Structure 1
Amino acid sequence: MFARATTIEAQLSAIDAGIAYVRDEVLPVVTEIPGCIGLSLLVDRQSGRCIATTAWESERAMRESEGEVGVIRDRASYEVFRGRARIEEWEIAVMHRDHRSRPGAWVRVAWGRVDPARMDATVANYSHRAIPAIQQLEGFCSASLLVDRAAGRGVSTETFDSSLAMERTRQVSDAMRDDNTMETGVEVLDIGEFELALAHLRVPELI
């Protein structure tokens, strides 16, 4: 399984229009492309950072979709969200879902890097150590780990039923992340918290 993430630095006043456009125009088209297994949209209404992610059955399907998706992406990014876009492609290494997200869900995202030679160990640590701990947190919904093995980069997500649940788990989550990064040698580059504006990913359990 693979994913393409488009990070848009949107104009704050354009975020609601952007959500509506992705929901009403982008989602129906993209999910009809062969190999697509869904789309999600995260938004930060304070900074304007929005992340639209499409998931794909294979790397080949993701690559072959680029032409069609690129046209849609450009219109969404520049004309609707009125912002700059950055594209990243990932392997979906881990996906664990306790239950489907509900309206009002929020997502904590952490970006990091590690020696590529330690990537397999890092993925194993996330699957067998981090996931069992994360899923005990209040309001836990799902967690995932996306990786770029060659570059030694990764991004983890933790989805919670509400912003309150995410806030209450912040300190514990930070402490667990610190423990895991010390063990694996991961350098945390950035952490963000986002409203889950659209949740239509159909990625199966990968753990």
Structure 2
Amino acid sequence: MYARSTTFQGRPANVDAGIAFVNTEVGPMLDQIEGCRGLSMLVDRETGQCIATTSWENEEAMRASDDQLRPIRDRGRDILGGSMQVDEWEIEVMHRTHHGECCRASWLQGDLDTMTETFRVAILPQLEQTPGFCSASLLVNRSTGLGCATTTWETREAMEASRAAADEMRSRTASDAGGEIVDVHEFDLAYAHLHVPEMA
């Protein structure tokens, strides 16, 4: 399974228009594209940063969709009123118990095989015991050595309460992978229609 994420550095005032665009146009369009397994959208209403992620059955389907989706990405950038960055990933881990309302995304640099093993064997069981936990995923980009771990939470209160434990888990993963933490960001989950199978 593969994923393409588009990170928009938009204007806070335009976030709702961006969400409406995803709901009314982008989501229904993606439903018609062969090999697409859904879409999620994370938003930070304070900074205007938004991340739209599509999932794909294989790399070929993701690549074949690029020309068709480029105008849609450009429209999203215009609606949100900022810049955008596109990244492609392999989906290494996907574990979901139920849907939530907010997410924490952590970007880590390091040995991706070790990172994946630590995340799957050590981090997931600990996350499952954390109150308010809903789901977790790990995406990796082997050309850049970057991993993106995302956890979803029932409420913002639950996510905030998990911060200390998350800091410890993140540091452990980066240490095991011989790498470093690049960035951490918390978001509202504005659109969640990913149909990636269990990959834990």
Shorter-normalised TM range: over 0.9
Q: Which amino acid aligns with 2:180?
A: E
Of 180-189 and 138-147, deviating more is 180-189
Residue 160 (structure 1) aligns with: 153
TM-superposed CA distance for 1:167, in Å, is: 0.5
Do structure 1's residue 68 and structure 2's residue 64 form an aligned pair?
A: no
| DSSP 3-state at the match of 1:151 | coil
Q: How does 1:101-116 map to 2 (within 5 A)?
A: 101-102=99-100, 105-114=101-110
Do structure 1's residue 123 and structure 2's residue 116 form an aligned pair?
A: yes
Q: How does 1:1-207 map to 2 (within 5 A)?
A: 1-78=1-78, 80-99=79-98, 101-102=99-100, 105-114=101-110, 118-207=111-200
The percent of aligned pairs where both chains have the same amino acid is: 45
TM-superposed CA distance for 1:183, in Å, is: 2.2
Number of equivalenced pairs: 200
Q: Which amino acid aligns with 2:103?
A: V
TM-superposed CA distance for 1:168, in Å, is: 0.6
Cα deviation, 1:149-195, whole Å, max 9, x if unaligned, reads: 23211100010001000001111111122122222213100000000
Q: Which amino acid aligns with 1:98?
A: T
| DSSP 3-state at the match of 2:112 | helix
Superposed CA RMSD? 1.0
Long gaps (5+) in structure 1: none
Q: Which amino acid aligns with 2:3?
A: A
Q: Which amino acid aligns with 1:86?
A: Q
Q: C-alpha separation between the residues in 2 aligned to 1:133 and 1:124?
A: 14
Q: C-alpha separation between the residues in 1 aligned to 2:97 and 2:148?
A: 19
- Contact (CA 8 Å) 1:31, 1:39: kept in 2 or not? no
Q: C-alpha separation between the residues in 2 aligned to 1:187 and 1:19?
A: 32
Q: Which amino acid aligns with 1:142?
A: S
TM-superposed CA distance for 1:32, in Å, is: 1.1
Long gaps (5+) in structure 2: none
Q: C-alpha separation between the residues in 1 aligned to 2:136 and 2:95?
A: 5
